[in-house]
A and B are shown apart, each in its own frame.
Chain A
Amino acid sequence: MHIVCCVKQVPDTTQVKIDPETNTLIRAGVESICNPYDLVAVEVAVQLTEKYGGRVTVISMGPPQAESALRECLSLGASEAILLSDRAFAGADTLATSYTLSRAITKINAAEPVNLIICGKQAIDGDTAQTGPGIATWLGYTQLTYVSKIIGIENGTITVRREVEGGCEIIEGRLPALLTVELELSSIRYATLPELIRALRQEVKVWGAKEIDALPERLGLKGSPTSVREIFAPPVRGGGTAFDVKERKEQATEDFLEALFQKDQTLMDEILSKDSHAQE
């Protein structure tokens, strides 16, 4: 079985802090990491090849530095890594990105048929969750999003559990299929030393627009219907009253409750009446 994983290098948003003085974002010095959801995708792909045989190819679209994210995927057991990097790709929104990735997969598929594409559910910098379904649509693959468990693959059919509104569904679909995966699907292995060495030494291929035979008008900024008009800091909630329980013990808690039940009486009435209603 041949599995392709699409990964993205993202800034580690957990390191992002707000400058309290200027209320702007401090992003300088923030590390770039491989999107955590995508690492789960690679881990799961490698597990599937361990069970069913085959190999994993990882691809990423990004600047030359994104190579380090691909090397991390190699250390987890992926066999091959391809970086899609070209000036023509810059400024792509999700439509242009999914087009570019789908062109690369078409080329990979021509060399060795791709049975499964696994993507992370979303990237932590954009949170759109659009690129995976976009790729499936461009390629006409069976689309299975929000997968929290892979139940099995048999006779060209994959069965998975998907997280949906109000519960989860068990669904089966024909291969080739594209899955987007939830974090809870699997924890990620620690790369062994030999794997780390292999990951460092192995070649990461670089493909540009020519290599993937893409239409220039569908790439990058030109191929992106959406554009950013402005960015700004999110509205900040003003701070409220503090009650120092360290100093004033129960009295502070009591003062707080007085304030809550007095000032926010309507809200508390709503909450408590709803509660008693639910009890009936």
Chain B
Amino acid sequence: MPKNSKGREVAEVVPGKCIGCQLCVGECPVDVIVMEGGVAIIDAEGCIGCGKCVDVCPVAGAILYEKSRKKKAAKAAISCPIDEYKGVAVFIEVQDGQGAEVSWELMGKARELAQKLETKVLGFLPGCNIEPVAQEAIAYGCDVVYTLDDPLLKTYLSKVYGKALVHLCQHVKPEIMLLGATSLGRDLSSVVATQLETGLTADCTGLDIDPECRLLMMTRPTFGGSIMATILCRNYRPQMSTVRPRVMKLPKKDPDRRGEIHSLSFEVAEEALPKVLDFIPRTAEAGDVDIAKAPVLVVAGKGACDAKNLPMLEELAQLLGGTIACSRAVVETGLLPHSRQVGQTGKTVAPKLYIGVGVSGAVQHLVGIQGSDKIIAINTDRQAPLAQIADYALIGDYQEIVPQLIEGIKARTGKEASRG
């Protein structure tokens, strides 16, 4: 137990555990806690050792304080009759008339959660002419699909889809609702959670059930991916969570699976809604590809940020049926567009093969590539963070190594890189 110069026993924050929620800052009766660099720091000289900060701290062990005190559980102000809520629901996103792959990935996860809770998997499917998607949902593991088929739901609008999903939640009352963290899913989930006044945890990488309290444990990277946090939503329902595409495994489709389909209807008040005037698809011709979908990525970093060597990296990528991407530093020089950026402020990718060329591997970059099957680093520095975590690290000058790789791969596959 630390003491200050007055000999008083004081509380001390453990920096690695503090999550920067600032609760203690607000609680301290003598105002001696300040935030510095995202963590709370207690001025020992001013601390009166009352322990109020310990009571309010949501993380066990984040504040060192010896005198044991009973933690008062934060009581919910507005609570909700949680026993009325049953089932694990998945919002089924429709892309080009078909169910989005991420929705089926979540269906697999929902099955697993429902098994632990001994409950059903529910599909929430708002859209227009979606009967075939409902059938597909059952094949992917859904027990009951609730559809809202309405011409108003032909194009996505936050307000209309928000109303539809809120309607489904109020009618069906699921205890858990999962959505894909696509741009649509992220936009929609916040609208629905705010209207239902329930908890929402974005971009979860892990979902599980606490066997004791039957609560959904939602784990997500935070603080730029440098720490993981497990979040609970104790007193409100549904417990809502979004998950990025390709984080959960796609379950096997079983066309013989049986399930129920209920079609519901809802009313939207006449009001001035936004109008989608045009949709411009991303096309390969415009050099604008979705790097998140490529099976192989050759990623240029600061150490390989040179226009004259770009064709060489492209050749390597093409040879392996992949495409090129880059780190943030490269986007900042203007060599490649933001759509090619991997990492926290760019895209999360999970290719089969990730080849980082001159990428040092900042935390923000590494968090975006965690899902890759194999990581290869080409770097002059063995100590670079990416070279440290890579499955294979090639230490040397990339201008020398990349041509050797191209030759070596050509020799093994017996084909030329040039493609029409």
Contact = CB atoms under 8 A, between A and B. Distances in A.
A22 B17 CA distance: 13
Given A87-B27, A228-B21, A145 B382 contact: no
A217 B77 contact: yes
Interface string A219-254: 011111111111111101111111111100110111
B202 A241 contact: no
A234 B281 contact: no
B364 A225 contact: no
A261 B390 CA distance: 16
B179 to A, nearest CB: 12
Contacts of A13: 223-224, 226, 344, 363-364
Nearest to B372: A237
Contacts of B193: 95, 130, 134
Contacts of B159: 142-143
By size class, the interface of chain B is 35 or more
A226 B345 CA distance: 24
Contacts of B307: none
A228 B395 contact: no
B412 A129 contact: no
Interface stretch (B126-134, B139-147, B227-235, B251-259): B227-235
Interface stretch (B35-43, B84-92, B103-111): B35-43
Contact of A171 (B16, B274, B376, B415): B274
Nearest to B400: A245
Nearest to A143: B158
Given A127-B202, A146-B187, A170-B277, A229 B217 contact: yes
Q: Which of B20, B200, B272, B274 has the most CB of A within 10 A?
A: B274
A195 to B, nearest CB: 24
A274 B400 contact: no
B205 to A, nearest CB: 9
A229 B363 contact: no
Contact of B296 (A182, A224, A256, A271): A271
Interface in B167-189: 182-184, 186-187, 189
A220 B201 CA distance: 17
Contact of B382 (A89, A98, A224, A242): A242
Given A127-B221, A133-B191, 6 more contacts: A134-B190, A171-B275, A227-B58, A242-B393, A252-B396, A264-B374
Ordered nearest first, which 5 A-B pairs have the shortest CB separation? A245-B396, A275-B321, A11-B38, A13-B224, A225-B199
23 contacts: A22-B16, A25-B223, A32-B37, A86-B26, A87-B27, A88-B26, A91-B21, A124-B345, A128-B202, A129-B186, A130-B186, A137-B195, A164-B156, A227-B74, A228-B19, A231-B19, A237-B370, A239-B390, A245-B397, A245-B400, A245-B404, A256-B394, A279-B419
